[in-house]
Amino acid sequence: MSSDSDDPRVSDAARPSAASLSGILDSISEGVFSVDDQWRVTSLNRAAEQLLGISRSEALGRPCDEVFKSDLCHDACPLRYTRETGLSIRNHAVRFTDAKGRRIPVSISTNLLRDGRGVVVGAVESFRDLSIEETLRKEIRDKYTFQDIVSKSPKMRQLFEVLPTIARTDSTVLIEGETGTGKELLARAIHALSHRRNRPLVVVNCGAVPDTLLESELFGYKAGAFTGARSDKPGKISRAHRSTLFLDEVGEMSAALQVRLLRVLQDGIFEPLGSVDSIEADVRFIAATHHDLSRDIARGSFREDLFYRLNVVPVRLPPLRERKEDIPLLVDHFLGRFSAGFGREISGVSPEVLPLLASHDYPGNIRELESTLEHACVMCAGGTVELEHLPAPWHERTAASADGLAAEISEHEAQLIRDALERHGWHREAAARELGIHKATLFKKIRKLGIELPDIDGRSRRSRDEP
């Protein structure tokens, strides 16, 4: 922080006194304090006193880590970083502990403190209370969270309204949606709302298990059913007795297994491999697929009768590109989860990052957004997620977006010039006057933008505003 004391352009009357500087600092809403080269507190404004619950007289002269008790005081002190590197920190999220032991979320910024000769004599830090923002964020998150599903999309809110009704029955549910839309999360929500919720949900990913193993995985086997089967093994259907069985990617199931599954759905019984005795299956089935099963039926790869047994209660999960209003909510949700898991204080994303995240179509849906934000939280030590923290493909999208915007601006500019030229019968000088630019500038823009001009010579015709 430089001083005006040696600047001849500043009069003595204009130079602020220590008292007036203190008054200025006390008038701002952000907390501000400074330390000397021994890390002792040398100043503290009123906002800092109120936020920390400590008086100026108690703080002055004490080591700053005794006063502020931040998460970063000993391992990654922002002020020490600024003193050692000369680099400022902007909007870094941390937590202070106030005099009553309460943990307060704040956003801090730091800078070097210099005397009138430019010599570094300490450092200064300002901090903004994020408690209200954190409370509002939690209220919004709670308002738009249903059984761990985050959304304010009208399509999803309609689904939330009918989920309790769906869950109260034992009818089979078929969830259709693209990969990464959260089909398992929805299945877990249905199970959690059902009368079977006291027993664990059993999950089978039909696309991840080889077909040769999926049959024994589902139905289990008796000892001696095949080489290596030394003892009985219950299958997932047995384990889901009086609970819910979630069959993810059911469209990947082979024709032979489809027949066996159909019998369970129709009759509520099954036989383990190698057994001649039927076992009752008190199971509620939820199936999910990213396939268009109607198309698979037409191709002969999926049984029509099984489809109708599964499709009793159809539910469609919209892709993220159809619910983009959820992106800010999901960003906040994932940042909260990852920053807590990584032990970091990440307050949000920068104003440049959020529009970029919101404009992407996400072919990988929520899973792609989740992966992107996990990468960002790994790369961001704290504070705000910036463009540099996003995975490499996002940097390319940023460049492509900038190129697209530049092209759009150029086309708009070219159209304005064409319209002005047409209004003045292609008289360049008259068009330049209307556009408020020099005629030489207009000529350059015509060439740069590739505007094609007619064969007529506008100079030989009078423009509309010429006498």
Residue with tokens 């008259």, as numbered in its chain: 430
Please give the C-alpha separations between residue 462 and each of 76, 264, 459, in angstroms, as whole numbers.
Answer: 73, 88, 7
Are 175 and 260 found together in one domain? Answer: yes
Which residues are within 8 A (CB) of 95 and not within 5 positions of it... i.e. 6 or more apart? Answer: 70, 71, 103, 104, 105, 106, 345
Question: Could you read off the pLDDT of 320-337 as tens digits, one per residue?
Answer: 999 999 999 999 999 988
Are 308 and 170 found together in one domain? Answer: yes
Are 66 and 175 found together in one domain? Answer: no
Question: Could you read off the pLDDT of 28-81 as tens digits, one per residue?
Answer: 778 888 888 888 888 888 888 888 788 888 888 888 888 777 666 666 678 888
- Nearest residue to 206 via CA among 226, 183, 223, 233: 183
Residue 443 CA to residue 432 CA, distance in Å, equals: 9
Are 259 and 401 found together in one domain? Answer: no
pLDDT at 232: 81
Domain assignment present for residue 424? The answer is yes
Domain assignment present for residue 95? The answer is yes
Q: What is the largest CA-CA distance in the chain?
A: 107
CATH number at residue 240: 3.40.50.300
CATH number at residue 86: 3.30.450.20
Are 23 and 103 found together in one domain? Answer: yes
Domain assignment present for residue 374? The answer is no
Q: Which residue has the higher pLDDT, 101 or 426?
A: 426
Domain assignment present for residue 391? The answer is no
Kindly report the backbone phi and psi dihedral angles of residue 294, in degrees, each rounded to the nearest multiple of 5, phi listed first: -60, -40
* Total number of domains in the chain: 3
- Residue 4 pLDDT class (50, 70, 90 cuts): very low
Residue 436 CA to residue 162 CA, distance in Å, equals: 60
Are 171 and 311 found together in one domain? Answer: yes
Domain assignment present for residue 442? The answer is yes
pLDDT at 159: 92
Question: Could you read off the pLDDT of 258-306 as tens digits, one per residue?
Answer: 999 999 999 999 988 887 788 999 999 999 999 999 999 999 999 999 9
Given 273, 295, 317, which residue is the final one in a domain? Answer: 317
Are 250 and 188 found together in one domain? Answer: yes
Given 269, 290, 317, which residue is the final one in a domain? Answer: 317
Give the tokens for residue 15: 């130079």
Domain assignment present for residue 202? The answer is yes
pLDDT at 457: 58
Are 95 and 182 found together in one domain? Answer: no
Are 118 and 185 found together in one domain? Answer: no
Mean pLDDT of the chain, nearest integer? 83
Are 119 and 168 found together in one domain? Answer: no
> Side chain identity at 404, as an amino acid letter?
G
Question: Could you read off the pLDDT of 357-380 as tens digits, one per residue?
Answer: 988 899 999 999 999 999 999 998
Q: Which residue has the higher pLDDT, 238 or 11?
A: 238
Please give the C-alpha separations between residue 22 and each of 33, 34, 112, 396, in angstroms, as whole numbers.
Answer: 11, 12, 18, 47
Percent of the chain exceeding pLDDT 70 equals 85
pLDDT at 109: 86
pLDDT at 465 over 50: no
Domain assignment present for residue 297? The answer is yes
Instruction: Tell me which of 132-146, 367-381, 448-462 is least confident.
Output: 448-462
Give the structural domain span for 107: 18-129
pLDDT at 122: 86
